[in-house]
Amino acid sequence: MEDSAIIDLYWAREERALQETETKYGGLCRSIAFNILQSREDSEECVNDTWFRAWNTMPPQRPGVLPAFLSRITRNLSLDRWKRTRADKRGGGQLPLALEELGDCVPAAGSVEEALALEELTRVLDRFLRTLPERECCIFLRRYWYVDSTRDIARRYEMAEGSVKSTLYRVRQKLRAQLEKEGVVL
């Protein structure tokens, strides 16, 4: 079913919207949640919460890109849940690794006046990603947005895992330079 038809079902308050969403985007959202949470049970709950939130936000919202809209909800819910649970158990998984890697991008403190608001930081990141070659942009997003493992990224983009790592390293260095240039303090 076309995305616009699924959105129409939400607007018509037809519960079939949820089934169609599950059929078409269940796998995508489940993989995002699982990459972050590393727990089938928790990720299943996050995905169900995603459908619930989508139900509550459409209408009034009419997302332009439905998978991005749903993925974003899943990601937010999963990150929130991860934060809540990490105090109790420090698990493995991709997120701690991705976070550790992102430490490379954090500029040295002291060069700028004030910390940036989250929205402004999002704008900086958005601008930065658009300056990258497509492949670098995609690899970066797969790693730090979708929280894919480097192995999965290598498989997805038909690259050697080492190339993925070196690309990520290069992009992190570029991002750090960009954040410093823009005077971003986190």
Partner 1 sequence: MKQEKLLEALTGVGDDLLELAQNKRFPNPWRRWGKIAACLALVLCLTALALPYLPMGCGSAKSEAPMADTSGANEKADVTEEAAPAETPELPAEEPEAPVENDGGVEKTMTKFVVCGTYYYLQPQYATSLDEPPEELGEELGTVTSAALPELLGCTVYKEQNSAVFDRYAVDGQAVTQNVWVRTADGYVRAVTANEKIVSRYTFADVEQAVEDEDADWLLETFVRPLEEHGRGEIQFADASQLTADQLNRLVPAFAAMNMGVTVVDHWAEDGQLVIPVSDVRFRLERFLTGFTYEPEGTEAYDPARNAVILPREAADLDESVQLTLEDAVLSDANTLCLTVSRQDGVRREYVIRFDTDSWRYLQIREIAE
Tell me which long-range contacts 174-181 makes (C-beta under 8 A, separation of at least 24): 174/128, 174/132, 175/105, 175/125, 175/128, 175/140, 176/104, 176/105, 176/106, 176/107, 178/124, 178/128, 178/131, 179/105, 179/106, 179/107, 179/124, 180/107, 180/108, 180/111
Q: Does 161 bind partner 1 (CB under 8 A)?
A: yes
Among 129, 178, 180, 182, binds partner 1 (CB under 8 A): 129
Q: Does 33 bind partner 1 (CB under 8 A)?
A: no
**Under rule CB under 8 A, how many of the chain's residues touch partner 1?**
54
Q: Does 62 bind partner 1 (CB under 8 A)?
A: no
Q: Does 108 bind partner 1 (CB under 8 A)?
A: no
Among 22, 93, 157, 182, binds partner 1 (CB under 8 A): 157
Nearer to partner 1, 1 or 106 (CB): 106
Q: How far is the CB of 104 from partner 1 (least distance, A)?
A: 9
Q: Does 1 bind partner 1 (CB under 8 A)?
A: no
Taking CB under 8 A as the binding criterion, the range among 13-21, 44-52, 53-61, 138-146 that sits at the site for partner 1 is 138-146
Q: How far does the chain reach from its first CA to its final CA, in angstroms? A: 42
Q: Does 113 bind partner 1 (CB under 8 A)?
A: no
